[in-house]
Every structure is written in C-alpha cells, then in structure tokens.
Amino acid sequence: MRYLKPLPAFLLLFLLLFLLSGCAQDQGKPAVPAQTGSGLQVVTSISPLADLIKNVGGDKVQVTALVKPGNDPHDYEPTPEDVRLVSTARIFFANGAGEEPYLERLVKNAASPGLKLVTLSDGLEILDKGWNGDYAETGNPHLWLDVQNAEAYVRKIRDSLSEVSPQNRDYYAERAATYLQDLDQLDKSIAAEISSLPQADRQMVVFHAAWPYFAKRYGLELKSLVKNSDSEPSAREYADLITYITSHHVKAVFGEVGFNPKLVQQLARDTGVKFVGNLYDDTVSPDSEANTYIKMMTLDVQTIVKALK
C-alpha cells in the first residue's frame, strides 16, 4: 500500500496562517441581509412596498426593506449597516410624502452615484396637506392603503426596473400584468365587503391617521384618536371623540400593529364599544398571517367588516 508523504513543516505553518487570516477577516465583516445572489439589488423603506417590488421583480431582484416586518417605521433611524446596504443597491424605492424623513441624509451618506432613487407617490393625489398633525407639511404618506394607488406603484416599479435592467423588461412586464390583475380583484373584493355594511355602520375610528386613502376609496367615515403618532389627544379632543362615537353608534375602535394599544383600549372602555387591535398599515406581519400586501389588505378588511357588523 502506498502512503502520501507528509507536508513539510514550513508549508503546514503557511496554510494554518492563511486559514486563520481568512477567518479573522470574515468575523470582522457585518452581514448584509438579502444582498446575496445575482439579482438586481433593490432597497425600500417598508415591508408592504417590498412585497409589491418582489411581485414585479421575481427572482431577477434581491429586495430588502429597511424597516423589518412587525416594526414601526415612525421609530426607524438608519444604522451604519443600512447606509452600507444602500451603497450596494442599484435602486431605492421610496414611498415619499414624508414616509422617509431620513431619506436625504441616508442617500447622501451612502454616497453611491449609481443609485437610482424612485419616489412611488410622485404624481398621485396626496391627502391631508395642511392638516394639523403629523402630515401638515408633507401630506399623508399611506397611499398604498388604497389598492388603486398600489396599482400605480406597481406600474412605476415595473417601468423603473425595466430602465435599469432592460434585458428583463418582458419578464417584469409579464409579472406586473399578472399581479395587477390580482390587485384589481382585491380592490373589487374590498369594495364589495365594505358595501355589505349598512351605511350607518361605515364609521371607522382608529388610533393614528393612516387610513384616509382607504376611507376615501371604499366609502368610510374616518376619525383618529391622535393626530401626532408620538403624542396624546387633548382632553377636549378625547371628549369630542367620545361624543362622536356615542352619537353615531360606532360599534368598534381599532388599534394598529406596531403601536401601543393602551389609549385605544381606554377609549373602548369609556364608550363601551369593541376594541380591535390588529390592523396592519405600515407593515406586513412577520408570519404567514399577513406577510404579503394582498394578505395584509384582505385581513384588514375582514377584521373591519366583522367588527362593524
């Protein structure tokens, strides 16, 4: 039987030092989520937008949302890792209308001249401009809660991806066409669900003012407990809302995932109506319950209609 000759000692020492050096370098590198693979590198702000992008881009893109599912984007501040993430991306899809107050600073710090910045809300009607609250200057950013606005986002995503990756234009167009059909069905389904409620019961009282686009599109009268997401209502505002709920026979008040429910729970106790605390608006769920835009909107509507019947 033949045996391999042992390696010389100096060669073994060289290999050992090489392996240790490589390990040390790997340990010093932070992990960058969703930036592996050969797809086009895309970053966006929130998880509902990330899902719209995935449905158009398919396996040709790698999409990362800065604010992870289940988290509140109002509390988000970019980290050094986020800056590095954006610096490696080809496109940043922003919602606009004040949803990303950190955006200019983030893009500047990323210092990536090849980064394409796309603002999805550009060209669409912005509600609540001049309103005394969070959205006085920018208007209300939650356009995606009207499915027709989400459809406009998808078309802009399709066109933007095609600009930077023209070899995949037909792929993006085909996927977008299929997804737009799904969204059209969703829009019709939501309208039918809300219209099943008697007109007098279409009263929606929520914690923070994320829902004007939804209410306008689907025919609901909307009131919110707070105008600023980081403050409490005044005694007069709270008393006026109690009067509204009792005089209009409102059946439920709604809290939202990612926000402290205590104020809305107190409002429910003070008025004797149902408290429902699981509406999604700025985020999809981290589990399968509502982990896509369509699932999120479907669950929201089912929850709203059930509570108001």
| Whether residue 144 is found in the same domain as residue 46 | yes
Query: In this structure, what token pair is assigned to residue 228?
Result: 């600023």
Segments in the chain forming alpha helices (H): 9-27, 47-57, 80-87, 103-110, 147-164, 169-195, 212-218, 235-247, 262-271, 293-308
In a domain, 100, yes or no: yes
Cβ-based neighbours of 63, under 8 Å, separated by 6 or more: 34, 42, 43, 44, 50, 53, 54, 57
Q: Give the CATH number, domain containing residue 99.
A: 3.40.50.1980
Q: Are the beta carbons of 201 and 219 closer than 8 angstroms?
A: no
| Whether residue 182 is found in the same domain as residue 44 | yes
pTM: 0.85
| Whether residue 83 is found in the same domain as residue 182 | yes
| Whether residue 127 is found in the same domain as residue 72 | yes
| Whether residue 114 is found in the same domain as residue 208 | no
Among 190, 210, 245, residue at a domain's last position: 190
In a domain, 28, yes or no: no
Q: Which domain holds residue 154?
A: 40-190
Per-residue pLDDT of the chain (309 residues; tens, 9 = 90+): 333 344 444 433 443 333 334 433 333 333 333 333 458 999 999 999 999 999 999 999 999 999 999 888 888 999 999 999 999 999 999 999 999 999 999 999 999 999 999 999 999 999 987 555 556 678 899 999 999 999 999 999 999 999 999 999 999 999 999 999 999 999 999 999 999 999 999 999 999 889 999 999 999 999 999 876 667 899 999 999 999 999 999 999 999 998 889 999 999 999 999 999 999 999 999 999 999 999 999 999 999 999 999
| Whether residue 53 is found in the same domain as residue 141 | yes
Among 151, 169, 190, residue at a domain's last position: 190
| Whether residue 59 is found in the same domain as residue 138 | yes
| Whether residue 300 is found in the same domain as residue 255 | yes
Scored b (16 or more CB within 10 A) or e, 183-193 reads beebbeebeeb
Cβ-based neighbours of 113, under 8 Å, separated by 6 or more: none
In a domain, 226, yes or no: yes
Q: Are the beta carbons of 105 and 111 closer than 8 angstroms?
A: no
Query: In this structure, what token pair is assigned to residue 270?
Result: 């003070």
In a domain, 1, yes or no: no
For the chain, the first-to-last Cα distance in angstroms comes to: 85
| Whether residue 140 is found in the same domain as residue 170 | yes
The half-sphere exposure of 2 on its side-chain side, counting CA atoms within 13 A, is 2
Question: What would the DSSP string read from start to end of 78-137?
Answer: --HHHHHHHHT-SEEEE--TTS-TTHHHHHHHHT-TTPEEEETTTTS----TT-SSTTTT
| Whether residue 149 is found in the same domain as residue 241 | no
Question: Residue 45, SS3?
Answer: coil
| Whether residue 114 is found in the same domain as residue 160 | yes
| Whether residue 52 is found in the same domain as residue 182 | yes
Domain count, the chain: 2
